[in-house]
Structure 1
């Protein structure tokens, strides 16, 4: 069995729903007594089924949380030649974007400083000669004059073209040996040349290592690693005004580990992927040791609806583990922001790793992948399958979904492990908000979906259109049949209502 599923095959969705539903807002419609309370969803945004707060009713499905798989060509950015930038360390305390037809990466090169690379496919990278920073007596390198760490926020909607790229800039606290603290922000038109908003020393020194600026729910948020009574913890500083000094922003502790798992702490804060309807967070699961060279770190997965209240889809859910003994990334992993990107049928995860513990030497940058939006899937629960004779069936009902365009939208399924020959299939029934089947979209009308794919249309008597829906507020009841348990049953990862773009971030 692969790493992706090996620890989580006994999950029961009802237990998991507690994690997500506890964070949910109250629903906007009257909820039938047989359904769990769940917030109304919007058909403009995907339903990622790793978020079990989406599930209002469960009849025998369970969740498996998936782990990313390393690309065989790793590391994708390797150490430079002796004496060149990045000859001892290439650290993805940085960012990746797809802009104007190119993948663009910012990372830290040691020696040298912050650096920039480009790619046509997100896998094979070149280091352009930018001619911006002098190193070794010349400017023939890919270094950028960027203050602070290499994590940037691309904000193409900003009306000021000089502020289309943004980032935080820390300052060393002289009273704590230069420990990184909140200080100011910087702006750029192209992500290469930056203008730092100058400020005096902070009125209050806030420990804030590995600062990343994000836009979540209409607020500016700086996620950092702070030091609390729980050891290393994830801090969030938030404000409506990006020009306000960051040390004056509202501070919250938003995620800790040592209070839940005494042997672990968080590392380098949460790095968010703020998607509409669900923010996906990746953070370091820090295994503290007496010596830095013995310290190890995996990458954990958390979810949020607002960027402040986070939960695990499964206790200590791990998105990427250290590599095998002797591998280049066998001891310590570091996450950047943004580090996720959907590229056709895959979700890309960029990271850096090393094999010298938390020392920082020999760090290089790698790529891991998931099935697109494949952070977790629902399948027939193993316990349910014990008491049900073949053919085994299970189903679940979603939260109410507001359909924004009945004429243009469809129900598209991200599904796997289907087979017409082996009678493994999915059927989709459409219900009203109270759970009653809608005419023309009932189970008797639903065609069997027997084909794997990222966006396979559900159909009713051969038609995929939603134009005949009598209401724009619906629920999905998704039926799964076939297989003995989750590894052998149909798997459903996500539901879309329009074709997902080829590249999405």
Structure 2
């Protein structure tokens, strides 16, 4: 499942400089999302025995699932609870037999289980009783029954390309075997990922443990260009490096990598760099927790969404410090065309897209804790909105009494991640697409733009020569001031003889007097209904 709207055949975003590579007298401006102040999902009260009575981390997923119970919003998340669950069956109890050192039993932060919630609008959420897990004397909870006890990172997709209904939903989650005593050989000893499938997103079956004894800490799972892609982080040059080293064979800071496969049950034992930030030229200064003012790093990798021909993601912008309690985190913006290699959009690296100051974790009176923003499978289009669900982790260091995480929401007008507009002082400018294939069916070209009356649209061949009947005096025009889906109107229909032909879309914008420059956010090709 990707987030491309029905009938949209191709989406060319202003932030995608591969799809819209050619420009004259225009520059990119990045949007600023609107953040909802209150969290959309909070942990259950500490006084309850709920499995999420300490934290509701968005190392998780939100889907607007049109195939489920009248198009519900569905949320899978990583819970934390206070104190051990005495009701684990023997094999699960074995996985928490070795207690982490230095933690007071009465204030113990226990990661997991994965939990589930539903909503009609994606704002007000219900935690249904699933009856799957006996937890502190009751099955009246929203925990998911999985074979691993200590878990995080519920990255879920609905795979509409899957013919087997029993495998329609797919999930990658992280499991932690390091507290298992005695060890379970098939789980290994390092935190890694597990793959599971489900017919309904509720009852899950384990299908693979692809990287046993290799550290993999992920944030997202996408299906793009026929591949399943997991984005995760590594600590280069360490035991949690997943085999990665920084340039020169040195240790490095947190960095984003990707694993990809065409078969969800079988993953090649290979990875590749997905998104990294610059590291110090001084190799000795690289790594984590190295200095009072460490360099920016990539936390958990890229939380991505596929929009058909392009992927947009947010990454954890980790402000590393020597003392963990001093660490904070923003979210940066990145884009990709293959779903694996992501690139930033701003002129300077590590620019926050959503700042922690704009989306702070719920505060504690009299305390000033940092917020770490976290990403997952949380980007989706809903009507005229683009939603960016994310996590707010209150970084309390070792002060477990105040530990908390919650799910938050930021929004944009649909697909308006950024816009192309005239350079300061310019009166006219142009944007030209890469060669695209004319669809083999009737279609329209839509502009997501403001100031449309100051734009004209032309079709060029792949060698940038004007196509007669669709250029010059026959250029397409928009009879609207602006909007999310502004129809480009032509003097004649695009003929069927052009189907399958490579063309480029050229948008020219002109400024009128003292009016604001026209603004182009996206171009879409939509199948005609």
Tell me what 1:61 maps to: 26
Change (3 A) 1:186 1:113: same
Structure 1 segment 312-351 matched on structure 2, within 5 A: 312-314=344-346, 315=348, 316-324=350-358, 328=362, 331-337=371-377, 339-351=378-390
Query: What number of residue pairs does the alignment pair up?
Result: 438
Which residue does 1:400 correspond to in 2?
435
> Are positions 1:453 and 2:473 aligned together?
no
The alpha carbon displacement at 1:266 in A equals 0.7
TM-score normalised by length of structure 1: 0.78
Regions of 4+ moved over 4 Å: 173-180, 198-201, 324-327, 357-360, 468-471
Give 2:139's aligned residue. Answer: 139
| SS across alignment from 1:46 | strand
- CA pair 381-168 structure 1, distance change in 2 beyond 3 A: same
How many Å separate the matches in 2 of 1:90 and 1:169? Answer: 15
Partner in structure 1 of residue 443 of structure 2: 409
1:49 corresponding residue in structure 2: 14
Matched, 1:233 2:255: yes
The CA deviation at 1:500 is: 11
After TM superposition, give the deviation of residue 198 of structure 1 in Å: 6.9
Deviations 1:156-203 (A, max 9, x none): 32222222222234444649999853354222222212222476993x
1:88 aligns with 2:54: yes
Say whether residues 1:269 and 2:234 are aligned partners.
Answer: no
Determine which of 219, 231, 242 is the counterpart of 1:223: 231
Do 1:254 and 1:309's aligned partners in 2 also have CA atoms closer than 8 Å?
Answer: yes
Provide closer, same or farther for how the CA distance between residues 252 and 474 of structure 1 changes in structure 2, counting only shifts above 3 A: closer
Contact 2:192 2:211 in 1 (8 A): no
Say if 2:314 and 2:332, in contact at 8 Å, map to a contact too.
Answer: yes
Shift in Å at residue 89 of structure 1?
A: 1.0
Residues 94 and 325 (structure 1 numbering): CA distance in 2 closer, same or farther, change over 3 Å? Answer: closer
Q: Distance in 2 between matches of 1:107 and 1:120?
A: 17
Match of 2:87 in 1: none
2:319 aligned with 1:311, yes or no?
no
SS of the aligned residue for 2:404 comes to: coil
User: Is residue 441 of structure 2 the alignment partner of residue 477 of structure 1?
Assistant: no
Structure 1 residues 332 and 59 mapped into 2: Cα distance closer, same or farther (>3 Å)? same
Aligned to 1:354: 393
Q: Deviations along 1:471-491, whole A, 9 cap, x unmatched?
A: 733222212122689x93111
- Tell me the equivalent position of 2:64: 98
Written as runs of structure 1 = structure 2, the 5 A alignment for 1:426-465 is 426-445=455-474, 446-461=476-491, 465=493
The equivalent of 2:96 in structure 1 is none
Distance (Å, rounded) in 2 between the aligned partners of 1:331 and 1:141: 28
Q: Which range moves more in the overlay, 166-175 or 473-482? A: 166-175
For normalisation by structure 2, the TM-score amounts to 0.75
TM-superposition CA deviations, 1:365-409 (whole Å, max 9, x none): 111011211111100012xx1xx5xxx221222222211145x21
In 1, are the aligned partners of 2:304 and 2:376 still within 8 Å (CA)?
no
Q: Relative to structure 2, which stretch is displaced further, 169-178 or 266-275? A: 169-178
Residue 301 and residue 179 in structure 1: after superposition, are their counterparts in 2 closer, same or farther (change >3 A)?
A: farther
Deviation at 1:352, TM superposition (A): 1.0
1:376 aligns with 2:418: yes
Structure 1: gaps spanning 5 or more residues: 1-42
Deviations 1:262-289 (Å, cap 9, x if unpaired)? Answer: 7111101222212322122221010011
